[in-house]
Amino acid sequence: MNTKKIAYSILELALVPKGGTIKETLNNSLALAQTAESCNYKRFWFAEHHNAEYIGSSATSILIGYVAENTTKLRIGSGGIMLPNHSPLIIAEQFGTLSHLYPDRIDLGLGRAPGTDPQTARAIRADFMEAAHSFPLEIEKIQKYFSPENKTSKVRATLAEGTDVPLYILGSSTDSAHLAAEKGLPYAFASHFASTHLHNALRIYKQEFKPSEFLEQPYTMAGVNVFVADTDEEAARLFTTAIRMFVGVLTGAKDALQPPSEMTEELKGIYDHPSIRQMLKYSFVGSKKSVKNQTQEFLEATGVNEIIAVSTMYSIKDRIKSTRLFGEIMEGINHEKLEYSHRN
């Protein structure tokens, strides 16, 4: 049994529900972060998406500042900044600024994907493909701008130099595992939608990890979908919103988040489709008891240091309740680990 305390966090896409507005959605993101803070979640990360009408997390750095300003201890960061979309210098300046405003609370998660369609990626940055292929070098540029030694360089991100902004490598394939291990950086895997390579990626990362000035031991995070309610039936009902959303992702019929409905035989059939089932493999749905069992099985199977939860729900009230209940689940799991370690 892994007796180490498991951190738990939230990944936020700021998904707009049917009938909702961007303003309401972003305000709800803050309410969710404040709930997470009160329930001892470790961090709250915003994803980066573009040209997506019903996703509000495009200007990631701005949203990080908004939530950091209205919380006190929760770590706020990016899950992630899609680095090929950006100049490393500008990202270093933005996150260096955030670190001065909110010391020891800002995380910089970095990904390689565009977070959008190819046409939009080219509109964001004409040399996107070249930057994507140069992802390891782009990370080195970021690290250089954050280093105190860069003060002697001709090109500087003065606001970033010497600030404490930890870098995380994000990924959904084994390529990212090799890179994170080589650089000795913490590694976050997007298993909330890309489940296929999770175990291989974690194995590669741990086997190849090289200690660095940033991290002595491997540190792993994994994304999971979490839907907790008073009963298994109510949680299954809330989960129908996510099923419909992922069907839209696969078919290209993207829409605002739909209200939940009963888990009909038709929806069960859709959920059982191999593509949907694979994407949503790591979805913990049910009452506290059920989700606790699912979470413990996942932790034992993966050995991750941290879970980062995604909750694709229509109602902010349901999301807040699920967030509180999952916090209670994780506190209970960690308490049991502590008792076990004391007994042994």
**Does the pTM exceed 0.85?**
yes
Residue 298 resides in a domain: yes
Q: What is the DSSP letter of 257?
A: B
Q: What is the pLDDT of residues 20-36, one digit of tens each?
A: 999 999 999 999 999 99
Q: What is the pLDDT of residues 63-99, one digit of tens each?
A: 999 999 999 999 999 999 999 999 999 999 999 999 9
Residue 258 resides in a domain: yes
Residue 223 resides in a domain: yes
326, 36 Cβ separation under 8 angstroms: no
Residue 1 resides in a domain: no
* Domain housing 61: 7-343
With bands split at pLDDT 50, 70 and 90, how would you rate the model's confidence at 344? low
Task: For the chain, give the longest Cα–Cα distance.
Answer: 66
Residue 116 resides in a domain: yes
**Which is more confidently placed, 282 or 3?**
282
Which of 53, 118, 79 lies closest to 248 in space, CA to CA? 53
Listing DSSP states for 30-72 in one string gives HHHHHHHHHTT--EEEE----S-TTB--SSHHHHHHHHHHT-S
109, 77 Cβ separation under 8 angstroms: yes
Listing DSSP states for 84-132 in one string gives GGS-HHHHHHHHHHHHHHSTT-EEEEEE-S-SS-HHHHHHH-TTHHHHH
Confidence (pLDDT) at 116? 87
Provide the percentage of residues in the chain whose pLDDT is more than 70. Answer: 98
Amino acid identity at 253: A
Q: Is the dihedral of CA 177, 64, 59, 319 positive or negative?
A: positive
Strand partners, 285: 227
Q: What is the CATH number of the domain that holds 302?
A: 3.20.20.30
Structural domain total, the chain: 1
Residue 123 resides in a domain: yes
What contacts 24, CB < 8 A, 6 or more positions away?
Answer: none
Residue 88 resides in a domain: yes
Residue 47 resides in a domain: yes
Is the N-terminal amide bond of 223 cis, ω within 30° of 0?
no
CA distances, 55 to each of 45, 77, 278, 321 (Å)? 15, 17, 23, 22
